[in-house]
Amino acid sequence: MSDPKTTPAATGEHDVLGHVDSPPTLLIVFVAILVLFAATVGISSSGMFGKYTLFVQLGIGSIQASLVGCYFMHLRHGDRVVILTALASIFWMGILFVLFMSDYMTRHRVIG
Amino acid sequence: MSANTHSTVLKHHFGDLEQQHASERLGMWMFLATEVLFFGGLFGAYACYRLWYAAEFEYASSFMNLKFASINTVFLVTSSLTMTLAIRCAKLGDKAGLYRNLLLTFALGSAFMVLKGFEYAEDFHEHILPGTSSFGGEIKHDAEAQGLDTGKVRLFLCFYYIMTGIHGVHIIIGLGCILWLVQQTYANKIPPENYSTVEVVSLYWHLVDAIWLFLMPMLYLAGAHIHHVAH
Q: Which residues of B touch A82 (CB under 8 A)?
A: 22, 25-26, 29
Determine the distance in angstroms separating the CA of A105 from the nearest CA of chain B, rounded to an integer.
Answer: 7
pLDDT of residue B66 exceeding 50, the answer is yes
Residue B160's alpha-carbon distances to B53, B60, B119, B157, in angstroms, are 15, 10, 12, 5
Asked which of A4-18, A87-101, B195-209 is least confident by mean pLDDT, the reply is: A4-18
What fold does the segment set B14-225 form as a domain? Four Helix Bundle (Hemerythrin (Met), subunit A) (1.20.120)
Question: A74: Cβ–Cβ under 8 A, 6 or more apart, which residues?
Answer: A19, A20, A21, B199
pLDDT at B206: 97
Q: Does A25 touch chain B (CB under 8 A)?
A: no
- Report the pLDDT value the prediction gives residue A50, as an integer from 0 to 100: 79
A contacts of B32 (beta carbons < 8 Å):
85-86, 89
Given this model, what pLDDT does residue A70 score?
A: 94
Helices (H) and strands (E) in chain A, counts: 5, 0
pLDDT value for B226: 56
Q: Using one digit for the tens of pLDDT, what is the confidence trace for A24-60?
A: 999 999 999 999 999 999 988 887 887 788 889 889 9
Q: Do A16 and B192 touch (CB under 8 A)?
A: yes
**Domain positions in chain B:** 14-225
Q: Is the pLDDT of residue A12 over 90?
A: no
Tell me whether B81 touches chain A (CB under 8 Å): yes
Centre a 10 Å sphere on the Cβ of residue B56 and count the other Cβ atoms it contains. 22
Q: What is the DSSP code string of chain B?
A: --HHHHHHHS-TTSSSHHHHHHHHHHHHHHHHHHHHHHHHHHHHHHHHHHHHTHHHHHHHHTTS-HHHHHHHHHHHHHHHHHHHHHHHHHHHT-HHHHHHHHHHHHHHHHHHHHHHHHHHHHHHHTT--SSTTT--HHHHHHHHHTT--HHHHHHHHHHHHHHHHHHHHHHHHHHHHHHHHHHHHHTT---GGGTHHHHHHHHHHHHHHHHHHHHHHHHHSSS--HHHHH-
- Higher-pLDDT residue of A62, B2: A62
What does the pLDDT read at residue A10?
44
| Mean pLDDT, residues A72-78 | 91
Mean pLDDT, residues A66-71 taken together: 95
Residues of B in contact with A58 (CB under 8 A): 214, 217-218
pLDDT at A55: 86
Q: How confident is the model at residue B3 (pLDDT cuts 50, 70, 90)?
A: very low
ipTM of the prediction: 0.90
Which residue, B115, B89, B118, B83, is CA-closest to B210? B83
For chain A, what are the domain ranges?
Answer: 19-78, 79-112
* Helix ranges restricted to H, B187-195: none
Using pLDDT thresholds of 50, 70 and 90, give the confidence band for residue B230. very low
pLDDT at B10: 86
Of B50, B74, B210, the CB nearest to A65: B210
pLDDT > 60? residue B91: yes
Torsion of CA B177, B182, B188, B191, to 10 degrees: 70
Question: Does the CA dihedral A32-A36-A39-A45 come out positive or negative?
Answer: negative
Q: Would you state the pLDDT for residue B9?
A: 82
Residue A5, pLDDT above cutoff 80: no
Tell me, what's the pLDDT at A13?
60
Q: B100-141: per-residue pLDDT in tens? A: 999 999 999 999 999 999 999 999 999 999 998 889 899 999
Answer yes or no: are the C-beta atoms of B115 and B75 closer than 8 Å.
Answer: yes
**Residue A16's pLDDT band (boundaries 50, 70, 90)?**
low
CB pairs under 8 A between A and B: 139
Report residue B212's pLDDT band, with 50, 70 and 90 as the boundaries.
very high
Interval B4-33: pLDDT, tens: 555 578 888 888 888 899 999 999 999 999
Mean pLDDT of chain B: 92
Q: Does pTM surpass 0.95?
A: no
pLDDT value at A6 more than 50: no
Structure confidence at residue B85 as a pLDDT band (50, 70, 90) = very high
CB B209 within 8 A of CB B37: no
Percent share of chain A, pLDDT over 70: 80
pLDDT value of residue A7: 41
